[in-house]
Structure 1
């Protein structure tokens, strides 16, 4: 590969110019050898030549002796951030794995699941449903991460009953591992999970509290929030202490939140102070502030003025950071504009309200959030008489895009029947 790159450079051609020809001659038309194949795949990953990778691995998987090497290579690519190439290799290994109950197959499916998650809520749901049967085949500690990821995914698409079920399952598996490790005290264990064991138990409590909050059972949400408000760990490491502080912060902000959602207006300023200081919580916090304002007819204009710069940033380029994963961030972003649109329109601030509504509709269409699209349509129809010609035009254009997606989807369904 080094010689090929030097020849390409000497001929003043773009990097990887001959890779397709090289791949065909060395791995498709003749018997491949791992000493040649490994550096070729790696260079293709570095240059993002995914089509070359696809063509070659389709041929070499006839020889199953390379499956282990391809899996290890995929793991390395994942660590280096070469996610598209890694996913192709994981899919190849999963397809060729002859032992259908092997841990390697389950780990491939787990990697494919996490790499599949994105902005499309329908795709996220499909990825979660496809992966779920493989959880029990993973190593016990990796199961904790898998359940946590699944719960986050279902939370991102507001399937709260499923989140509750997975949180309870997470609690059971943590208890089992705690009992097992207590019996084997004195033995050293190599951690396979991303985080310390105790964190998964308290994350399960956080998930359960979140579900009770979404069900508007705020007293029960506060009860479960108290479980992770003051975690005590014997001889904590620096990593342990970091998580203890993180959960303490979450408990503080969620206590303010649930009290606010119960109509306790006195907790609003404390909640605003916290979400302003902790940027990871700002977006979700603003969603909840607007929800409470609309639920109890509160005036939160002072909160909007306080976060005016942040809200304008969301309008302009949507460069916000969060500790939540992408699908949860996308959902919160969309819900914020929905709540803000209702708030402004109900106060007869029609210019701001329609601007927020159109922003919400664009985002909901992008992530295929059908329930929010329906909400936007209903809200627009309620205030249509107040809409300017420009707003009408923008709304009609967006709705045509939405209808276009549904029309395309229905034609595909008809053609496949």
Structure 2
């Protein structure tokens, strides 16, 4: 199935109101309401759904999202695994739920929408600072999660949703070599923006990794920080990676988050001590496993066994073993073996987690054949 990233706007309600006025009263309560108030609006949401859902089921013209999805499926002639992404507003979440219900049971469509995952926190039009700091980073993370780090079967449908997001989704699609689809509501044909090779100089992310991490977390007194490291931050500004906001705040720019996400997917980040790092750099098989298998969460979990107090990655019918644990979102590797007997003997060794964490440093391994 083709995964289709689809942002959701409010054209569904605008189109309905062109010929029907019976939802005006309940719908007005959704105006300018953030998503956090959505559950309090449940009775009015039901009123809107009762009217709009059966109406939407009768026509593919009901909304930009519905129309474009039908056109994309016809063009690709494949089943679609659709992921609806709503802005951080009550009305966008309501539209997404109705669109999901509208496609229920229709052949060649699996439409996904989960209020807990697919309403993108901070993605709204009223607070640009919140959009930069939280909204766009959350959007990038959600799309990355949906793609599961593989964009070969992903397309972007930008027909609906908040138009301010379209430039960023377009760039994200291009750097991940994905097709983009758009449709004008008055048009009967879907517009395809094909894959275009887009070269990005990612060396800046390696060269200034610490400063980029500072921007990712937000710098409160940016002028002072820039004066301490003028050359670096000046270069980052020239490359468009710095977003300066009121109150002397600076963050990684929206495009910066998209480029950083792509850059990080070229590497597997983990933590280990200098001693373990030196050992890995001597072990060709362990290097290959890190690059091709261990970095993938699903593969790592499927090949991990509990041995005493240890979690051990067992590569199968070979002597390669990796002793590790996960703490938060981080992976800590504390011993690697290319000798099965030595690996088995290590099981008897006690695990000193706090010591491992204390002595560990962040490492990066290129995700390519070694």
Greater gyration radius: 1
Structure in which a larger fraction of residues adopt strand: 2
More helix as a share of residues: 1
Q: TM-score, normalised by structure 2?
A: 0.32
TM-score (norm 1): 0.30
